[in-house]
Amino acid sequence: MLIDTYGRVATDLRVSLTDRCNLRCAYCMPEEGLQWLSKPDLLTDDEIVRLIDVAVTSLGIEEVRFTGGEPLLRPGMVGIVERIAALAPRPRMSLTTNGIGLRRTAEALKTAGLDRVNVSLDTLRPDVFKTLTRRDRHHDVLAGLAAAAEAGLLPVKINAVLIPGLNDDEAPDLLAWAMEHAYELRFIEQMPLDAQHGWKREGMVTASDILASLRTRFELTAEGSQERGSAPAERWIVDGGPHRVGVIASVTRPFCAACDRTRLTADGQIRTCLFATEETDLRAALRGGAPDEEIARIWRLAMWGKKAGSGLDDPSFLQPERPMSAIGG
């Protein structure tokens, strides 16, 4: 079991498979990209599988989410999913992706054992997509979403970030489109995880802003905290159902008290929070010949030291040194 001093138990593992990405989203990284991790620093496929095995069989992890950077850039992605699906107990598996590679991989991922996907899509307008991501790949994301649905990677969830002056007017259109295609839409407040440290709390599109915009076209009924559980998204029933929309208000409505996550970076570091400024090295123990029991002990110790909150509600918040692409969103 992975428990901290506040009684929270981690059952959800987020695994970053790579720090690389084939987009350059303005809220994540600079246009020229970043200094990527060298291959020797990255965990191998075997090392990733072994650490997940320890987490599932010895530490009570029930769900594994593969993230990046862009996880579909990892050559061994399908094989990793297949090997994790063979574990006993078998964890639920999902993927957070920009969707560009889904058209060619969705069917193979489903066959390997992946359960569902989260796809990032911030706009329905190709020109705005190009401005936000600095790449002309909007059509590829739409094709990837369709391929995921056809392959049965359900429910297909869409993550959208609204940026002032760019796409902050699109919330109702995004929801109407998602409902039409039977996708589940979730808006995420922009978080301070960009490499260029350009995030500012002032002027950001908040959860309240998003809900006010949606209510200009839809009737929203709160689903309630009992239905939410430890999920990061507050959800609302749209026009009486069956469709729902979620808002992840990491900045203005932190949900740290119910957090059940632990994170493994692409280079083998344990992070107890997306916004943590400290990490615990599992790669060194792994490559130093440590048995599974020792790795589990180190992981438990790291989780025991998890802080009460993210610190985002503190005006003196210290932004993590590593951008989202290296941590895994």
- 113: tokens are 């054992």
CB contact at 8 A, 137 and 164: no
CB contact at 8 A, 223 and 251: no
Distance CA 37, CA 56 (A): 27
Secondary structure of residue 319 in the 3-state scheme: coil
Query: How do the pLDDT tens digits run along the chain, 329 residues long?
Result: 999 999 999 999 999 999 999 888 887 776 666 778 889 999 999 999 999 999 999 999 999 999 999 999 999 999 999 999 999 999 999 999 999 999 999 999 999 999 999 999 999 999 999 999 999 999 999 999 999 999 999 999 999 999 999 999 999 999 999 999 999 999 998 876 555 455 466 668 899 999 999 999 999 999 976 665 667 889 999 999 999 999 998 888 878 888 999 999 999 999 998 878 889 999 999 999 999 999 999 999 999 999 887 656 555 554 555 555 455 55
DSSP run (H or E) holding 187: strand 184-188
Distance CA 232, CA 188 (A): 10
Neighbours of 76 (CB within 10 A): 15
CB contact at 8 A, 149 and 156: yes
Neighbours of 71 (CB within 10 A): 25
